[in-house]
């Protein structure tokens, strides 16, 4: 089978690999579409805390496909079922898992990192990690269920966002765009801030989705924030930049009594002056990964057509030229690229 394999830092190639055979407790999935996200890009560059991944490795963790064979012990899925996988597998036994926090499991493993992933024509997986894709959701759309589930967790569970709230999302990467889309579907008034590099593609994409944008390198964020919120500050600010300065900016522009939710993961230490946070009773929360419920929330949003997946999924790349997709993503020339493995 065809597979995209990382062979070194900033080095990927398409190889022929043997098609995997499912164990009795696994299913064999024919991959239809697989997405490329920020963590894949860090893994590709071999930086940002992803230097531990064994190489060579078949990459890819967000995908949709069809079950083509089921092991003898599998009862929940059968050939022909359309599925998506929760790629972060929890252990079920640690304190966090027992407390209902499997997304922060102490002993987690990730498809495409700890084990070969879904940038391939076929992948095997245990059925407890799978979700059925609704008939109304095309497999191409379902391929971004995982990043959408991260956004649903951030907005619907980890934030206090309600209809009519003024919301700022910092950073128009894939997660930031999806956070903005989920908040918009909730009825919030959403603005997304970005940089000059985002003006080429990502900020115009958001504007096409009806979401206001702010280029902080050509516009004054303070002036735009005052105009957007009538001078009161944002009710909720999501920091999805993954940059160490993001939380400081969030604190500067959230209103008193508002909330900051950190979604991006910075690698460097952040400096935040807490005086205004304490005096303003600003809540600072975080959001990491997603749970079973968040996956189902994401699929329901897609099923109801409440987020414009067809527009967010902007570019399909050939699995025969994977480096082009990674470099385009790193250059902000695309927002949510995907590899197409089947028609």
Indicate whether 341 pLDDT > 90: yes
Question: pLDDT tens digits, residue range 124-138?
Answer: 999 999 999 999 999
Question: pLDDT tens digits, residue range 13-60?
Answer: 999 999 999 999 999 999 999 999 999 999 999 998 899 999 999 999
Question: pLDDT tens digits, residue range 228-243?
Answer: 999 999 999 999 999 9
Question: pLDDT tens digits, residue range 164-194?
Answer: 999 999 999 999 999 999 999 999 999 999 9
Residues of 260-270 as b/e, b for ≥16 C-beta within 10 angstroms? bbbbbbbeeee
Average the pLDDT over 192-208 and give the result: 97
Average the pLDDT over 279-286 and give the result: 98
Give domain 2-144+313-340's CATH number out of 3.30.530.20, 3.90.180.10, 3.30.565.10, 1.10.760.10. 3.90.180.10
In this prediction, residue 48 carries a pLDDT of: 83
Parts of the chain belonging to CATH 3.90.180.10? 2-144+313-340
Indicate whether 314 pLDDT > 80: no
Q: Determine the 3-state secondary structure of 58 from DSSP.
A: strand
Q: What is the pTM of this model?
A: 0.96
Cα(51)–Cα(81) distance, integer angstroms: 35
Taking the CB of residue 280, how many other CB atoms lie within 10 A of it? 15
Do 145 and 42 touch, CB atoms closer than 8 A? no
Question: pLDDT tens digits, residue range 90-106?
Answer: 999 999 999 999 999 99
How far does Cα 254 stand from its chain's mean position?
A: 24
Q: Where would I find the beta strands (DSSP E) of the chain?
A: 2-8, 11-16, 27-35, 57-58, 63-70, 82-85, 88-89, 109-110, 122-125, 130-132, 166-170, 189-194, 212-215, 234-239, 254-262, 283-286, 315-317, 337-340
Cα(266)–Cα(186) distance, integer angstroms: 27
Name the strands in the sheet holding 283-286, side by side, starting at the edge strand that comes first in the sequence.
Answer: 212-215, 189-194, 166-170, 234-239, 254-262, 283-286
In this prediction, residue 315 carries a pLDDT of: 79
Parts of the chain belonging to CATH 3.40.50.720? 151-286
The architecture in CATH of the region 151-286 reads 3-Layer(aba) Sandwich (3.40)
């Amino acid at each position: 089978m065809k597979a995209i394999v990382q062979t070194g830092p900033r080095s990927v190639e398409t190889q022929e690999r043997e098609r995997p055979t499912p164990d009795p407790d696994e299913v064999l999935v024919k991959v239809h579409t697989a997405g490329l996200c920020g963590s894949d890009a860090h893994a590709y560059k071999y930086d940002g805390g992803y230097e531990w991944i064994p190489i060579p490795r078949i990459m890819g963790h967000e995908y949709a496909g069809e079950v083509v064979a089921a092991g003898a012990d599998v009862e929940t899925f059968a050939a022909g079922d359309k599925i998506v996988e929760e790629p972060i597998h929890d252990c079920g036994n640690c304190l966090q898992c027992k407390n209902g926090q499997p997304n922060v499991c102490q002993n987690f493993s990730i498809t495409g990192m700890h084990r070969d992933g879904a940038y391939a024509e076929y992948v095997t997986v245990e059925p407890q990690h799978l979700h059925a894709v609704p008939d109304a959701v095309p497999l191409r759309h379902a391929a971004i269920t995982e990043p959408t589930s991260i956004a649903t967790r951030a907005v619907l569970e980890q934030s206090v966002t309600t209809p009519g709230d003024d919301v700022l999302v910092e950073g128009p990467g894939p997660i930031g765009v999806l956070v903005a889309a989920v908040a918009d579907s909730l009825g919030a008034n959403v603005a997304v801030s970005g940089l000059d590099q985002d003006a080429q593609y990502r900020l115009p994409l958001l504007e096409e989705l009806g979401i206001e944008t702010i280029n902080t390198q050509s516009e004054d964020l303070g002036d735009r924030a005052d105009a957007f919120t009538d001078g009161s500050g944002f009710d909720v600010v999501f920091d999805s930049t993954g940059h160490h300065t993001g939380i400081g900016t969030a604190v500067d522009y959230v209103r008193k009594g508002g909330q900051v939710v950190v979604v991006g993961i910075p690698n460097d230490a952040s400096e935040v002056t807490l005086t205004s946070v304490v005096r303003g009773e600003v809540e600072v929360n975080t959001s990491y990964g997603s749970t079973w419920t968040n996956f189902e929330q994401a699929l329901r949003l897609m099923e109801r057509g409440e987020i414009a997946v067809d527009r967010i999924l902007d570019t399909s790349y050939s699995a025969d030229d994977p480096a082009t997709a990674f470099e385009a993503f790193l250059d902000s020339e695309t927002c949510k690229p995907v590899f197409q493995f089947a028609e």
